[in-house]
């Protein structure tokens, strides 16, 4: 069974930065794609960013230019660097790892952007 554990969430002022991490119990080469999603209160979960095992990353328009996704295969960790945070970025952030048709999820980490 795969375990994904997110960390790095917290309270930050608008314009600030946070770095989220997703630690995997299985080496990252097992996953063709790894993604970040988020879910704000009262809203559906939405895709934020994707990083493939090979090829280019991609981002939702709402975060493009502000967020950067990365994966460190040596440390079995995926990260999301979030800069220029806005109140509308407030949500629970989830990491997702895809192996074939299987998807694995972490438990989520809360990000709150507020003054």
Q: Side-chain half-sphere of 57: how many Cα atoms within 13 Å?
A: 22
- The DSSP bridge partners found for residue 38 are 46, 93
Specify the pLDDT at position 68.
98
Average pLDDT of the residues in 67-79: 96
Specify the pLDDT at position 85.
98
Average pLDDT of the residues in 78-101: 97
Specify the pLDDT at position 1.
87
């Amino acid at each position: 069974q795969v375990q994904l554990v997110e960390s790095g969430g917290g309270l930050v002022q608008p314009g600030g930065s946070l770095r989220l991490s997703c630690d995997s119990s299985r080496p990252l080469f097992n996953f063709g794609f790894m993604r970040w999603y988020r879910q704000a209160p009262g809203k559906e979960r939405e895709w934020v960013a994707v990083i493939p095992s090979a090829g280019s990353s991609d981002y939702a328009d709402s975060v493009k230019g502000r967020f950067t996704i990365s994966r460190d295969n040596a440390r079995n960790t995926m990260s999301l660097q979030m800069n220029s945070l806005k109140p509308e970025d407030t949500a629970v952030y989830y990491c997702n790892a895809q192996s074939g048709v299987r998807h694995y999820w972490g438990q989520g980490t809360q990000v709150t952007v507020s003054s």
